[in-house]
Amino acid sequence: MKNCTCVYDCSADPRTACGLSGTYHLHSDMGACPVHSTVVVWNG
């Protein structure tokens, strides 16, 4: 998990909060996660 680039809890900042908070996911401005190859990408 050290190399994981996923977001888990994005609700702390209203600018980045999305409905996927509380699950491992990526936001559109982030590259692919080297640990989780199949996560949902939020394109807010």
Q: How far is CA 17 from the centre of its chain?
A: 10
pLDDT in tens, the chain (44 residues): 688 888 889 898 888 888 889 988 888 776 778 887 766 666 65
Q: What is the pLDDT of residue 39?
A: 63
The answer to whether 15 and 44 have CB atoms below 8 angstroms apart is no
Q: What angle do CA 28, 40, 1 make, to 5 degrees?
A: 90
Q: What is the pLDDT of residue 9?
A: 92
Q: What is the pLDDT of residue 4?
A: 87
Q: What is the pLDDT of residue 5?
A: 85
The answer to whether 36 and 4 have CB atoms below 8 angstroms apart is yes
